[in-house]
Structure 1
């Protein structure tokens, strides 16, 4: 399944997943707020430069692929369950997104 098969996905999350799958770092980064952050199991990367460095080492830089398997809402977060592939971590993982307006404030890798 692809992100487009889940109409409940907020647009910035949909665009971020599509950018990751296309290995388009700039498009991925453009989905975050000015102080947007990634929390990768407690390691926090805040701001465009920090998120870009993390992504180069551990996400888009290792040719990540995200196959969306489920989407749920929990409080103010959108939880996207995926099957992760690529040259880094492979396996099931959940991403909790906090969206502010039309951008992502936080992408937290939770499981």
Structure 2
């Protein structure tokens, strides 16, 4: 195993369909479509909390859609390998701090999101 992973910059339209579907649905607050992007046993880690399985992820999606008002702009995308992608977003809104750049690190399995880690 080696420590240096290759990150290839991508255009947003080069992201896998399931990631694009999730990002578009999340931005539109379409919980059902966003949830359809995940494996049944998926995990999402956001703000230090991990949500396991579709029921917990659905609750997280519903809450995150209503907790704060914000704009989100995709500022960069990368591919590490066939199953690992990162989408960087700039958010501005009424959450603590007002602005943040977040990295959405995706792990795919069978063309669905198995793991999503959201962190600055």
Please tell me the TM-score bracket, short chain as reference: 0.7 to 0.9
Mapped pair 1:83 → 2:104: no
Unaligned runs of 5+ in 1: none
Q: Whose Rg is larger?
A: 2
Q: Is the alpha carbon distance of 1:101 and 1:85 closer, same or farther for their aligned partners in structure 2, counting shifts above 3 Å?
A: farther
Question: Which of 57, 61, 65 is the matching residue for 1:60?
Answer: 65
- How large is the RMSD of aligned CA atoms in angstroms? 2.0
Number of aligned residue pairs: 106
* CA displacement at 1:64 relative to structure 2: 5.3
Q: Is the alpha carbon distance of 1:85 and 1:30 closer, same or farther for their aligned partners in structure 2, counting shifts above 3 Å?
A: farther
Q: Is the alpha carbon distance of 1:50 and 1:101 closer, same or farther for their aligned partners in structure 2, counting shifts above 3 Å?
A: same
**TM-score, structure 1 as length reference:** 0.81
